Amino acid sequence: MATWQAIIFGTTYSLYTNFQSIYGDMYGFSTTQVGLMYLGPGVGYFLTVWFVVPKIDTIYNHLTARNNDKPKPEFRLPLANVGAVLIPASLFWFAWTVQYGLHWFVPLLSTIFFGIGQIAIFNTVQNYYIDSFEKYAASAIAAGAVFRSIIGGVAPIFATKAFENLGYGWGVSIFGFL
C-alpha cells in the first residue's frame, strides 16, 4: 500500500513540476494561467471528498454486515478500485493529448479524473492503515508519509529528464504503466 501511494505521489509531483513547461512552453500560458491549471486536480479532489470519501464508511459497514458483523481492514479498500482505474486512464489521456498538442482543456479535463483517483486511493488506504494497525496506526501512517514523500521528492528529478528524452506521451505513460 505504501508503495502504491509513493508511486502516486511521485507521479503527482512529476506532473506538477512540469506544468510550467507543458502549459507555459507548449501552450503559451503566462505563469498566472499555468497556476490556474492546478484547479483541474483541485476540482477532482473536491468532488471526491464531497461524494466518494463519505461512501468509505458506508461500504465498510455494508461489507461488515455481510461478513457476520466481523470487520476486516480490507473492507475499507473497494473505492480504491475507482482510483486504480482512473489514475492510469487519466495519465494516458493527459500524456497523449499533450503530446499531440490538443486544446489545453482536453489535458486539463484529464487532471480532474487524476485528482479523483488520487484522493480515492489515499483516503481508503489511510483508513486501511488505521484499521490494520489500530494501536500503531499513527506510526504506520507516518512511515507511509515518509516513504511517499521521499519518492515524491526524487521522482520529479528523473521525470523531467524522461519527458525531455521521450516526450510527454511516453514519459507520462511510464507512470500510467506503473
The pLDDT of residue 69:
93
- DSSP-derived letter for residue 135 is G
Mean pLDDT by groups of 10 residues along the chain of 178 residues:
86 90 90 92 94 90 93 91 94 95 93 94 91 89 90 90 89 88
pLDDT of residue 48: 93
Q: Is the pTM of this model over 0.75?
A: yes
- Which pLDDT belongs to residue 91? 96
CB atoms within 10 A of CB 100: 10
CB-based contact 98:18 (threshold 8 Å)? no
* Residue found by looking up cell 483541485 in the block: 42
Q: Which CB contacts under 8 angstroms, 24+ apart, belong to 99-103?
A: 99/167, 99/168, 99/169, 100/169, 101/26
Q: What is the pLDDT of residue 117?
A: 94
